């Protein structure tokens, strides 16, 4: 998986210095990365508004116009759980950094070791919204973001992955895919169906109505348990977004 | 599944009893009974929600990278927040700790305490459903039973209001007129005539219930502010 990292700092030499450290990390770990540079908070927010996705954002705090802390607040207000690492000279925003659930707080001048530790942590804790499922389909290896998978159903001895863009047939069983996905957003509602609850429109009797109109059955022997699991998930989601 | 414990590791006795009081009140408000430990034996075993005082001079434990624990560090100096990052806490609480800080902190580890929530069991549409008490906003009596309004959906049940009411925790639910029971947690504003709920609903107070509602609301506010001895 290629890790997409944004660096947002108004000083060009600071951006270059941080990029060097990230590249050293990437070479040491043999990890493909893509770096994107932003010289202001507004530029970075524009990229977010254009639905550009980053796994990690390194963010300076003192920048003209929009401060890094304000940018972080706006990112979180849009319910984006990208990992944020502050890279700053400011010692005054430690408490605020927890409010925006930052992954780390690096004080300038920082060392290679500090950057590596921050990246290690972020990569171990990749948020649900940017996690991917690795599958082999149509003679190629693909990385499917979990957030694009609507549901998966059994198709003979294979499985069909219904994403927002297409339907992929893979030679893997549903149990195996469920283990690989291991996400609280996914629900095994039937022996032959695994669905992403983010795409459920409503509960209709003994079935889930998906946002694309498909009706997915609930296992008759587990109706109450599955309905309660779904109801709990909706409450938890609502609490987390409050 | 093992039950999550709330653990306080704090040497300052005054601050420790304050946090104990706030956490006890939080458990009452959310109807989430959990074991609350103030003098933990080390090492601290997950699943745990740990409050660790950085000012006590000892460093918090490093937990394995999984979701079986949450660590909240506390200190009087806000700069301690930056230096706590190597332990990757879920939150930082600046002393003196207040209920708002604890509420915000615990919202960051919902999956750890979700199973501890007490629930209202109802039979709706032939399916037995359990709604956490803290999510029930109001219950409305109707001719054929009740409507249980929760923060996300409404359930129609055949059980009469008095029967449902008997199963509700009295500290957070109050009858505000003949056919309405409200959750004090969801009252945004209370006037002499009505209760205004967080979802925008206005419920008129019954003549006979007014005083009882006001009394219950005052008690609730004291609990919410951590000032009520439990």
pLDDT in tens, A22-74: 999 999 999 999 999 999 999 999 999 998 889 999 999 999 989 999 999 99
> Which pLDDT band holds residue B225 (cuts at 50, 70, 90)?
confident
B94 close to A (CB below 8 A): yes
**Range(s) for CATH 2.40.50.1020 in chain A?**
131-241
In CATH, what number does A131-241 get?
2.40.50.1020
How far apart (Å, rounded) are the C-alpha atoms in residues B186 and B199?
8
Residues of A with a Cβ under 8 Å from any B Cβ are: 91-92, 94-95, 97-99, 101, 103-105, 107, 117, 121, 124-125, 184, 205, 223-224, 227-228, 231-232, 234-236, 238-240, 242
* Minimal C-alpha gap between A56 and chain B (Å): 16
| Every domain range in chain A assigned CATH 3.40.50.2300 | 3-128
Chain B positions touching A95 (Cβ under 8 A) are 78, 81, 92, 94
How do residues B110-151 score in pLDDT, each as one tens digit? 999 999 999 999 998 778 889 999 999 999 999 999 999 998
Q: Are B204 and B194 in contact (CB under 8 A)?
A: yes
Residues in B closer than 8 angstroms to A125, CB to CB, are 65
CA triplet A209, A215, A217: central angle to 5 degrees? Answer: 105
Cβ atoms B175, B184 nearer than 8 A: no
Q: Which residue has the tokens 């629930």?
A: B119
Confidence class for position B19, pLDDT limits 50, 70, 90: very high
Choose among A201, A202, A196: nearest CA to A211. Answer: A201
Q: Is B128 on the interface with A (CB under 8 A)?
A: yes
Considering the domain B5-115 in this protein, what is its CATH number? 3.40.50.2300
The whole-angstrom distance between B1's CA and the closest CA on chain A is 16
Number of residues that this document lists for chain B: 230
How much is the pLDDT for B1?
A: 65
ipTM for the complex?
Answer: 0.81
Q: pLDDT tens digits for chain A (242 residues)?
A: 789 999 999 999 999 999 999 999 999 999 999 999 999 999 999 999 998 889 999 999 999 989 999 999 999 988 777 999 999 999 999 999 999 999 999 999 999 999 999 999 999 887 776 788 999 988 889 989 899 999 999 999 999 999 999 999 999 999 999 999 999 999 999 999 999 999 999 988 889 999 999 999 999 999 889 988 999 999 998 888 77
Task: Report the C-alpha gap between A43 and A9 in whole angstroms.
Answer: 11
Calculate mean pLDDT across residues B181-186: 95
* pLDDT tier for residue B152 given thresholds of 50, 70 and 90: confident
Three-class secondary structure of residue A108 per DSSP: coil
Domain ranges of chain B: 5-115, 119-224
Residue from B111, B115, B94, B2 nearest B51 by CA: B94
- Six-digit token string for B191: 């006037």
* Cβ pairs bridging A and B (under 8 Å): 64
Tell me if A238 and B80 make a contact (CB, 8 A cut-off). no
CA-nearest residue of chain A to B155?
A231
Tell which residue, B72, B70, B65, has the closest CA to residue B110.
Answer: B70
Of B65, B81, B86, the CB nearest to A97: B81
Coil, helix or strand at residue A183: coil
Give contacts of B149 with chain A, Cβ < 8 Å. none
Chain B residue numbers touching A104 (CB-CB < 8 A): 85
DSSP state of B64: P
Which member of B86, B92, B135 has the closest CB to residue A235? B135
B130 in contact with chain A, both atoms CB, cutoff 8 A: yes
Residues 6+ apart with CB under 8 A from B32: B26, B113, B116, B117, B118, B134
The third-level CATH classification (topology) of the domain covering B119-224 is: OB fold (Dihydrolipoamide Acetyltransferase, E2P) (2.40.50)
According to CATH, the topology of domain A3-128 is Rossmann fold (3.40.50)
Residue whose pair of structure tokens reads 């009140």 in the numeric block: B25
Contact A236, B110 (CB under 8 A): yes
* Residue of B58, A10, B224 whose CA lies nearest to A18: A10
pLDDT per residue as tens digits for the range B54-98: 998 889 988 876 778 999 999 999 889 999 999 999 999 999 999
**Chain A interface, best mutation among B81, B94, B122, B185, by max A CB count within 10 A:** B81
Probe site for chain B from A95, A204, A230 (most B CB atoms < 10 A) = A95
Pairing type for strands B119-124 and B127-132 reads antiparallel
User: CB-based contacts of B188: which residues, under 8 Å, 6+ apart?
Assistant: B196, B197, B198
Average pLDDT value for chain A? 93
Sign of CA dihedral A76, A84, B45, B102: negative
Give the Cβ contact number of residue A125 at 10 Å: 12
In this complex, is the C-beta atom of B68 within 8 Å of any C-beta atom belonging to chain A? no
Using CA coordinates, name the residue in chain A closest to B103. Answer: A239
> Does the beta-carbon distance from A184 to B131 stay under 8 Å?
no
Minimum CA–CA partner of A203 in chain B: B153
Per the model's pLDDT, the better-predicted residue between A19 and B227 turns out to be A19
Residue A236: C-alpha distances to residues A95, A103, B174 (Å) = 25, 22, 25
Q: State residue A216's pLDDT score.
A: 97
Q: Quick one: pLDDT at residue B230?
A: 65
The overall longest dimension of chain B from CA atoms, in Å, is: 63
| HEC string for chain B | CCCCEEEEECCCHHHHHHHHHHHHHHHHHHCCCCEEECCCCCCCCCCEEEEEEHHHCCCCCCCCCCCCEEEEEEECCCCHHHHCHHHCCCEEEECCCCHHHHHHHHHHHHHHHHHHCCEEEEEECCEEEEEEHHHEEEEEEECCEEEEEECCCEEEECCCHHHHHCCCCCCCEEEEECCEEEEHHHEEEECCCEEEECCCCEEECCCCCHHHHHHHHHHHHHHHCCCCCC
DSSP classification of residue A213: S
Rounded-to-integer distance, Cα B68 and Cα B4, Å? 8
How do B145-150 and A132-137 pair as beta strands?
unpaired
Q: Mutate one of A98, A183, A207, A239 to test the B interface: name it (highest B CB count within 10 A).
A: A98
Q: Does B1 touch chain A (CB under 8 A)?
A: no
Q: Which residues pair with A203 in a beta bridge?
A: A208
Beta strands at B91-94 and B69-75: parallel, antiparallel or unpaired:
parallel
């Amino acid at each position: 998986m290629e890790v997409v990292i944004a660096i947002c700092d108004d000083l060009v030499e600071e951006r270059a210095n941080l990029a060097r450290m990230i590249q050293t990390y990437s070479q040491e770990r043999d990890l493909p990365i893509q770096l994107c540079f932003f010289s202001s908070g507004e530029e970075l927010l524009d990229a977010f508004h254009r639905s550009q996705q980053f796994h990690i954002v390194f963010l300076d705090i003192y920048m003209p116009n929009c401060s890094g802390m304000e940018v972080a607040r706006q990112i979180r207000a849009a319910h984006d759980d990208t990992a944020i690492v502050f890279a700053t000279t400011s010692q005054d925003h430690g408490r605020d950094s927890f409010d925006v659930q930052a992954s780390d707080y690096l004080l300038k001048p920082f060392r290679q070791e500090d950057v590596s530790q921050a990246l290690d942590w972020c990569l171990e804790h990749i948020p649900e919204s940017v996690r991917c499922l690795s599958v082999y389909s149509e003679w190629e290896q693909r990385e499917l973001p979990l957030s694009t998978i609507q549901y998966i159903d059994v198709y003979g001895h294979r499985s069909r992955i219904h994403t927002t863009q297409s339907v992929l047939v893979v030679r893997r069983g549903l149990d195996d895919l469920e283990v690989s996905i291991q996400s609280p957003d996914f629900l095994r509602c039937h022996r032959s169906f695994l669905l992403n609850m983010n795409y459920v429109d409503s509960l209709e009797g003994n079935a889930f109505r998906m946002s694309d109109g498909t009706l997915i059955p609930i296992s008759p022997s587990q109706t109450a348990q599955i309905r309660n699991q779904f109801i709990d998930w909706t409450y938890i989601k609502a609490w987390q977004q409050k | 599944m093992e039950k999550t414990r709330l653990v306080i590791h704090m040497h300052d006795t005054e601050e420790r009893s304050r946090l104990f009081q706030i956490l006890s009140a939080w458990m009452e408000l959310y109807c989430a009974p959990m074991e609350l430990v103030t003098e933990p034996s080390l090492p601290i075993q997950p699943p745990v929600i740990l409050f660790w005082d950085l000012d006590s001079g000892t460093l918090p434990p490093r937990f394995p990278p999984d979701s079986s624990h949450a660590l909240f560090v506390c200190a009087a100096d806000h700069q301690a927040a930056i230096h706590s990052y190597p332990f990757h806490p879920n939150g930082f609480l600046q002393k003196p700790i207040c209920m708002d800080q604890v509420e915000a902190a615990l919202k960051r580890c919902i999956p750890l305490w979700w199973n501890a929530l007490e629930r209202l069991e109802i039979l709706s549409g032939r399916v037995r459903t359990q709604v956490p008490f803290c999510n029930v906003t109001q219950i409305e009596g109707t001719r054929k039973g009740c409507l249980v309004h929760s923060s996300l959906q409404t359930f129609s049940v055949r059980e009469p209001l008095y029967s449902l009411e008997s199963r509700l925790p009295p500290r957070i639910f109050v009858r505000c007129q003949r056919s309405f029971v409200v959750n004090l947690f969801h009252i945004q504003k209370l006037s002499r005539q009505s209760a205004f709920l967080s979802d925008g609903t206005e419920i008129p107070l019954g003549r006979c219930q007014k005083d009882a509602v006001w009394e219950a609301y005052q008690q609730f506010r004291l609990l919410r502010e951590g000032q009520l001895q439990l």
